[in-house]
Amino acid sequence: MVTELDPDELATRVGKLLLDSGVPAAVGVLPFDHTAEPRVVIPAEARWAGPAHGLVPAAKPHPAPLSSTAVPEPAVYAQAVADTVADLRADPELRKVVLARALDLGFAAPADIAALLPGLIRANPLGYTYAADLDGGRTLLGASPELLLRRTGATVLSNPLAGSVPRRTDPVEDRAVAEALLASAKDQGEHRVVVEAVVEVLRPFCRSLTVPAAPSLVETPTVWHLSTQITGELIDPDVSALRLAAALHPTPAVCGTPPAAARAAIAHHEPFDRGFYSGVVGWCDASGDGEWIVAIRCAEVEDRRMRLFAGAGIMPDSVPESELAETAAKLKTLLDALGLG
């Protein structure tokens, strides 16, 4: 396992170990906190397969939890959003802060990770499903809709998502809220902050970048997102996907901007350590190709305990009740996928 904090050294060591070992790929997770150690593993064995969607068995209902605790309580989260809005309006340099909340579940028996994965895969055909071992018997599992970075040869692709709205069951209402999201000045502004940050980070690495003039809509079963696909051609073909992912992480989609001030606000308002939530999970091979996903729509599982996470991007014109509803919709996505809805 490689736990190097320096991004250049991390990518260099992982690349050398892959070349020396002949293992086809390294896998790992980067935490949200840049001062915490990443966990990148050179596995003894790796298997490659086609897409799992459409091939997995039907998910079995998971035993209901014995306890459920919101961290913080919804009213406290809404007040934290209101306080953050006040901070944003008072400080024009602070443009966006992402605030998360959690849901702690307790069960009678240890969770069966293998039994939970089919539901995650089937629940979101466009998602990236993952399960990563952490230290102390913990597992991070989820189905993220957001690709941080994919490198294929000299081509890189980043697909930030920012600006979201819960979906509706009625098709007409659902299309109306989607179109309203696309026209929303608040959500367009939130999305623009992320795109600008991704472009700023990738520009020194790329000979050329292609950035659409406006975002498009993408959907999960419960949420509409604004999406932009940014593509680039690398100047140096030896820069690995892991190095690029480490440079991009965290984007304003999960942290805010400017990063230092946003991190300070998160530390003040969130009553928990994010750990690997809103970090990065993925793989890279010896040639430098790879795919790294933003670790959202996820849960951290340890024995009989499970913590689910959801966050929302807070802007100067955010409405606390709307941000609370957005996080509730994201938690519902995960609860349904895990058979707990």
Tell me which residues are annotated as active site.
96, 146
d(CA 270, CA 252): 17
Report helix, strand and coil shares of the chain as percent, to nearest 5.
35, 30, 35
Paired with 299 in beta bridges are 141, 308
What CA–CA distance (Å, rounded) separates 263 from 268? 9
Non-local CB neighbours of 36 within 8 Å, separated by 6+ positions: 275
Question: In whole angstroms, how far apart are CA 193 and each of 39, 203, 249, 316?
Answer: 29, 16, 14, 13
Short-list 191, 228, 233, CA closest to 211:
228
Indicate the pairing of strand 216-219 with strand 96-106: unpaired
Name the DSSP letter for residue 137. G
Sign, CA torsion 307/81/225/38: negative
DSSP state of 314: E
